[in-house]
């Protein structure tokens, strides 16, 4: 009886672990492997020519550009928002806390449509923008705005709990020692939040690079002009160019994998610190 | 630096934390702010530091109006209860912080900073710990670094918030003596907050007792102990036995209590309260006394004797065990206070607070 019980207690964990591994292989690893397998299905030369196709290169460049604009802005926004909420009591503080979370709960497509309604030709600001010859939609500004909206919570969400837990005594100590605001931020606040900040920035980057829904509404999908990588993948796929689509997707996958590695490294550093 | 505090008030939401504080502190004086939690002592300290701003009142230090000066420019040394050391800096970097953030024109050279830090490490008696990080230090060592970091800028006023609160008893005693030495050597005006009266009296030149946002009494250890200004101070100093007495010709009278050791007071006749400390009462056998011993327990050095009398609160006394050999349960004793304080007031305090009920006070040494 006791032996049977012993056997059972080893069987259950093994079954569960086996199930988890099988599901992970089936749902995560297999599609990933399939991307690369398909991308290279016609050989290395076809893969390289697909990647080096000017339209694909432009999509890579545009996606990088959007991330380069969005991530620093959202790092600044995230730190400022976290600082304000963690350090000060002001009317509307609860509202700010909720507002930071909104992009997480709103579908990116809804965000895109909102921008469309706001900046579009028939939109609220459309006529004014037309008058001043500023193009927001179907151009870089629109893509940047939507991506910023979608990725804005990442940094604030990582930094805020840490700042709240640490309290403001170190900063107060720095003030009494004669430090000015910038010195306090650079020498006391920033070193304390650096790992959380980097971690948030990596998450923000990964999301900004991969954003599809919101951008697809506002970009207009103009080949070689407003086509980001995720949109380009869809476009190639719709063109029945499966190999090209998978080649483009492979670049996105590599970016995601790099982000994942950086994220886990940062996570371990953070727990040591 | 002499500090002049006048009529400072502060409110947090609906709570009045400070109610018109007036306090003069002399140059080079070492003053303790003593009181229970919620008495406003830490808020007063933080106002002097510039970390908190009063709703009303004046703060003048060495003739300078500090209400016009932010915390950054007051050049004070503030030691936090939790130390608030910078965890990502070594001890040396922590100590040097206040010097390295100075504007270029006033900043000492790197060599000067190094020698100043060396000096501090010696003064703090932590010469060998300069390259360590705060997480690698003991509580007492962290406290020394926190104090050293504050002293590095040669503060005009040194402020400490419960400086020894988080340390164990032996280290506290050690650090207390050492803080006194540091205070004398640096010659700064020093104010510290504590709820521990022993700490306050041992360390400070003068003690400010605070209660509910007001100053209840200012004085030396002896003055406060022997002449408590209010029932609150008497209680806070350990006179926790309160007996309803009748004042007649300046003497407190109660059946079973022999007050002949207490001097007469210039107080009017009428009801009053006698405050006694448990260790300042002698017992004399007296079958006629209403005080009956109901329990006796030994703590080693002391004997805790519980006495009850009809219509009176239970009295717990702490007697030296050797002096109380004959005391046993079931016997009647007369109380003979050696010291105590009398406040002529009804025993049931007015809801406005005890402090208001004591225009007249009397003390017994």
Is residue B64 located within the same domain as residue B184? yes
Q: What is the pLDDT of residue B226?
A: 85
* pLDDT tens-digit readout, B149-168: 999 999 999 999 998 877 88
Chain A residues whose CB is inside 8 A of the B134 CB are none
**Whether A179 and B72 lie within 8 Å, measured CB to CB:** yes
Please, which pLDDT band fits residue A109 given cuts at 50, 70 and 90?
very high
pLDDT at A46 over 60: yes
Q: What is the pLDDT of residue A129?
A: 86
Is residue A31 located within the same domain as residue A158? no
Q: What is the pLDDT of residue A7?
A: 61
For range A162-173, the mean pLDDT: 92
Is residue B204 located within the same domain as residue B282? no
* pLDDT tens-digit readout, A241-268: 888 899 999 999 998 899 889 888 888 8
DSSP letter (8 states) at residue B29: -
B163 reaches A (C-beta below 8 A): no
Is residue A142 located within the same domain as residue A239? yes
B156 reaches A (C-beta below 8 A): no
Of B358, B353, B340, the residue nearest B242 (C-alpha): B340
Distance CA B92, CA B117 (A): 6
- In the sheet where B15-25 sits, what is the strand order? B15-25, B3-12, B56-61, B64-65
Long-range contacts of A29-35 (CB under 8 A, 24+ apart): A32/A253, A35/A246, A35/A249, A35/A250, A35/A253
Please, which pLDDT band fits residue B357 given cuts at 50, 70 and 90?
very low
Please, which pLDDT band fits residue B124 given cuts at 50, 70 and 90?
confident
Is residue A59 located within the same domain as residue A185? yes
Chain B residues whose CB is inside 8 A of the A91 CB are none
Please, which pLDDT band fits residue B169 given cuts at 50, 70 and 90?
confident
Is residue A249 located within the same domain as residue A174? yes
Is residue B158 located within the same domain as residue B100? yes
**Conformational region of residue B232, where left means phi above 0, alpha means psi within -120 to 50, and beta covers everything else:** alpha
* pLDDT tens-digit readout, B171-206: 888 888 888 988 998 888 999 999 988 899 999 999
Residue B343's contacts (CB-CB under 8 Å, 6 or more residues apart) are: B230, B231, B234, B272, B273, B275, B357, B358, B360, B361, B362
pLDDT at B354 over 50: no
Is residue B125 located within the same domain as residue B262? no
Is residue B265 located within the same domain as residue B244? yes
A55-59, A217-221, B26-30: range with lowest mean pLDDT: A217-221
Chain A residues whose CB is inside 8 A of the B72 CB are 175-176, 178-180
Is residue A255 located within the same domain as residue A195? yes
Is residue B358 located within the same domain as residue B345? yes
Is residue B158 located within the same domain as residue B12? yes
Is residue B169 located within the same domain as residue B246? no
**Whether A173 and B72 lie within 8 Å, measured CB to CB:** no
Q: What is the pLDDT of residue B322?
A: 79
Q: Please, what is the end-to-end C-alpha distance for chain A in angstroms?
A: 49
Contact predicate B324/B283, CB 8 Å:
yes
ipTM above 0.85, yes or no: no
A5-14, A65-74, B105-114: range with lowest mean pLDDT: A5-14
Coil, helix or strand at residue B342: strand
Contact predicate A81/A156, CB 8 Å:
yes
Token readout for A191 is: 């070193």
Instruction: Find, in chain B, the residue whose alpha carbon is nearest to that of A188.
Output: B86
**Whether A183 and B101 lie within 8 Å, measured CB to CB:** yes
Q: What is the CATH number of the domain that holds A128?
A: 1.10.3720.10
Give me the count of residues in chain B.
Answer: 365
Domain interval for residue B339: 228-364
For range A199-205, the mean pLDDT: 93
* pLDDT tens-digit readout, B305-322: 999 999 899 999 999 887
Is residue A54 located within the same domain as residue A104? yes
Chain A residues whose CB is inside 8 A of the B152 CB are 177
Specify the number of domains making up chain B.
2
B27-31, B40-44, B147-151, B355-359: range with lowest mean pLDDT: B355-359
Of B241, B208, B226, the residue nearest B39 (C-alpha): B208
Beta bridge partners of residue B210, listed in sequence order: B215
Is residue B125 located within the same domain as residue B237? no
Give me the helices (H) in chain A, please.
2-24, 30-39, 44-51, 54-87, 93-105, 108-119, 126-131, 140-151, 153-166, 169-176, 181-184, 190-210, 213-219, 229-238, 242-272
* pLDDT tens-digit readout, B217-260: 999 988 998 889 999 999 998 889 999 999 988 888 999 999 98
Write down which residue in B223, B242, B277 finishes a domain. Answer: B223
Q: What is the pLDDT of residue B107?
A: 94
Contact predicate B320/B302, CB 8 Å:
yes
Q: What is the pLDDT of residue A132?
A: 85
**Whether B72 and A175 lie within 8 Å, measured CB to CB:** yes
Chain A residues whose CB is inside 8 A of the B191 CB are none
Q: List Cα–Cα distances, B327 to B215, B297, B352, in angstroms.
A: 41, 11, 41
Of B288, B296, B287, the residue nearest B319 (C-alpha): B296
A123-127, A196-200, B12-16, B28-32: range with lowest mean pLDDT: A123-127
Q: What is the CATH number of the domain that holds B208?
A: 3.40.50.300
Token readout for B285 is: 């056998």
Is residue A92 located within the same domain as residue A26? no
Is residue B235 located within the same domain as residue B328? yes
Q: What is the pLDDT of residue B89?
A: 95
Please, which pLDDT band fits residue B347 given cuts at 50, 70 and 90?
very low
Nearest Cα of chain A lies from the Cα of B234 at a distance, in angstroms, of 35
Of A252, A149, A251, A168, the residue nearest A209 (C-alpha): A252
- Kindly list the residues of chain A whose beta carbon comes within 8 Å of any beta carbon in chain B: 169-170, 172-180, 183, 187-188, 191-192
Residue from A162, A167, A176, A196 whose CB has the most chain B CBs within 10 Å, to mutate? A176
Please, which pLDDT band fits residue A6 given cuts at 50, 70 and 90?
low
CB pairs under 8 A between A and B: 64
Is residue A61 located within the same domain as residue A32? no
Instruction: Find, in chain B, the residue whose alpha carbon is nearest to that of A171.
Output: B84
What is the pLDDT of chain B when averaged over all its residues?
A: 89
pLDDT at B120 over 70: yes
Specify the number of domains making up chain A.
2
What is the pLDDT of chain A when averaged over all its residues?
A: 89
Q: What is the pLDDT of residue B359?
A: 39
Distance CA B329, CA A165 (A): 55
Token readout for B148 is: 């050293």
Is residue A14 located within the same domain as residue A145? no
CB-nearest partner of A177 from B87, B88, B97 = B97
Coil, helix or strand at residue B101: coil
Write down which residue in B223, B240, B268 finishes a domain. Answer: B223
Chain B residues whose CB is inside 8 A of the A189 CB are none
Contact predicate B152/B119, CB 8 Å:
no
Is residue B18 located within the same domain as residue B149? yes
Coil, helix or strand at residue A227: coil
Is residue A9 located within the same domain as residue A92? no
Contact predicate B91/B146, CB 8 Å:
no
Distance CA A131, CA B81 (A): 61
CA A136, A204, A98: angle at the middle one, nearest 5?
80
Q: What is the pLDDT of residue A3?
A: 53
Token readout for A95 is: 């509202």
pLDDT at B12 over 80: yes
Chain B residues whose CB is inside 8 A of the A170 CB are 84-86
Q: What is the pLDDT of residue B93?
A: 96
DSSP string, B139-195: HHHHHHHHHHHHHTT--SEEEEESTTTTS-HHHHHHHHHHHHHHHHHH--EEEEEES
Domain interval for residue A145: 43-272
Is residue A154 located within the same domain as residue A261? yes
A191 phi/psi in degrees, rounded to 5: -60, -30
Q: What is the pLDDT of residue B365?
A: 38
Please, which pLDDT band fits residue B360 given cuts at 50, 70 and 90?
very low
Is residue B260 located within the same domain as residue B205? no
CB-nearest partner of B86 from A170, A172, A178 = A170
For range B73-88, the mean pLDDT: 94
For range B51-59, the mean pLDDT: 95
- Burial call A170-194: b when 16+ CB within 10 Å, e when fewer: bbbbbbbbbbeeebbeebbbeebbb
Nearest Cα of chain A lies from the Cα of B101 at a distance, in angstroms, of 5
Residue from A177, A197, A269 whose CB has the most chain B CBs within 10 Å, to mutate? A177
Nearest Cα of chain A lies from the Cα of B317 at a distance, in angstroms, of 44
**Whether B87 and A187 lie within 8 Å, measured CB to CB:** no
Is residue A20 located within the same domain as residue A56? no
Write down which residue in B223, B251, B284 finishes a domain. Answer: B223
For range A194-220, the mean pLDDT: 91
Chain B residues whose CB is inside 8 A of the A185 CB are none
Residue B115's contacts (CB-CB under 8 Å, 6 or more residues apart) are: none
Contact predicate B191/B157, CB 8 Å:
yes
Residue B116's contacts (CB-CB under 8 Å, 6 or more residues apart) are: B96, B99, B108, B152
Q: What is the pLDDT of residue B1?
A: 84
Contact predicate B201/B176, CB 8 Å:
no
Of B189, B88, B177, B79, the residue nearest B125 (C-alpha): B177
Q: What is the pLDDT of residue B187?
A: 87
């Amino acid at each position: 009886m006791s032996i049977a019980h012993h056997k059972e207690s080893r069987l259950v964990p093994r079954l569960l672990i086996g199930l988890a591994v099988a599901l992970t292989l089936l749902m995560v690893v297999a599609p990933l492997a399939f991307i690369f397998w398909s991308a290279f299905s016609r050989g290395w030369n076809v893969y390289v020519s697909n990647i080096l196709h000017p339209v694909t290169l432009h999509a890579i460049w545009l996606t990088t550009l959007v991330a380069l604009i969005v991530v620093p802005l959202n790092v600044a926004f995230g730190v400022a928002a976290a600082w304000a909420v963690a350090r000060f009591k002001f009317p509307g503080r609860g509202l700010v806390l909720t507002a930071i979370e909104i992009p997480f709960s709103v579908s990116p497509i809804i965000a895109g449509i909102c921008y469309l309604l706001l900046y579009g030709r028939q939109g609220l600001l459309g006529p004014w923008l037309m008058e001043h010859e500023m193009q927001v939609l179907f151009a870089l500004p629109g893509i940047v705005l939507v991506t910023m909206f979608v990725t804005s919570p990442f940094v604030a969400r990582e930094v805020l709990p840490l700042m709240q837990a640490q309290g403001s005594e170190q900063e107060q100590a720095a003030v009494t020692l004669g430090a000015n605001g910038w010195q306090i931020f650079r020498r006391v606040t920033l070193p304390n939040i650096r790992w959380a900040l980097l971690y948030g920035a990596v998450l923000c980057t990964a999301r900004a690079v991969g954003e599809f829904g919101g951008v697809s509404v506002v970009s207009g999908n103009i080949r070689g002009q407003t086509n980001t990588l995720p949109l380009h993948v869809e476009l190639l796929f719709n063109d029945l160019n499966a190999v090209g689509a998978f080649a483009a997707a492979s670049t996105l996958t590599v970016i995601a994998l790099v982000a994942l590695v950086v994220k886990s490294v940062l996570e371990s550093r953070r727990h040591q610190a | 630096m002499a500090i002049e505090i006048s009529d400072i008030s502060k409110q947090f939401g609906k709570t009045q934390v400070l109610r018109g504080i007036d306090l003069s502190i002399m140059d080079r004086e070492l003053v303790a702010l003593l009181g229970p939690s919620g008495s406003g002592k830490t808020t007063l300290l933080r106002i002097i530091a510039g970390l908190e701003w009063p709703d009303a009142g004046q703060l003048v230090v060495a003739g300078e109006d500090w209400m016009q000066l932010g915390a950054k420019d007051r050049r004070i040394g503030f030691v936090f209860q939790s130390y608030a050391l910078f965890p990502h800096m070594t001890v040396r970097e922590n100590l040097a912080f206040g010097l390295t953030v100075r504007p270029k024109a006033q900043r000492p050279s790197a060599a000067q900073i190094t020698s100043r830090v060396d000096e501090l490490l010696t003064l703090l008696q932590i010469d060998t710990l300069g390259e360590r990080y705060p997480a690698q230090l003991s509580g007492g060592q962290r406290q020394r670094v926190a104090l050293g970091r504050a002293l590095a800028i040669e503060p005009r006023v040194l402020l400490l918030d419960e400086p020894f609160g988080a340390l164990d008893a032996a280290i506290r005693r050690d650090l207390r003596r050492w803080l006194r030495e540091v205070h004398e050597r640096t010659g700064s005006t020093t104010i510290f907050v504590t709820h521990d009266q022993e700490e306050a009296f041992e360390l400070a030149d003068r003690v400010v007792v605070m209660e509910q946002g007001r100053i209840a009494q200012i004085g030396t250890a002896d003055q406060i102990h022997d002449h408590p200004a209010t029932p609150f101070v008497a209680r806070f100093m350990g006179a926790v036995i309160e007996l309803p007495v009748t004042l007649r010709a300046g003497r407190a009278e109660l059946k079973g209590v022999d007050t002949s050791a207490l001097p007469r007071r210039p107080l009017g006749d009428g009801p009053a309260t006698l405050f006694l400390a448990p260790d300042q009462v002698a017992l004399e056998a007296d079958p006629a006394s209403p005080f009956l011993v109901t329990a006796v327990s030994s703590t080693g050095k002391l004997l805790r004797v519980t006495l009850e009398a009809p219509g009176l609160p239970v009295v717990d006394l702490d007697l030296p065990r050797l002096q109380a050999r004959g005391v046993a349960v079931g016997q009647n004793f007369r109380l003979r206070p050696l010291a105590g304080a009398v406040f002529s007031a009804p025993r049931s305090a007015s809801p406005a607070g005890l402090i208001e009920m004591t225009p007249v006070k009397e003390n017994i040494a």
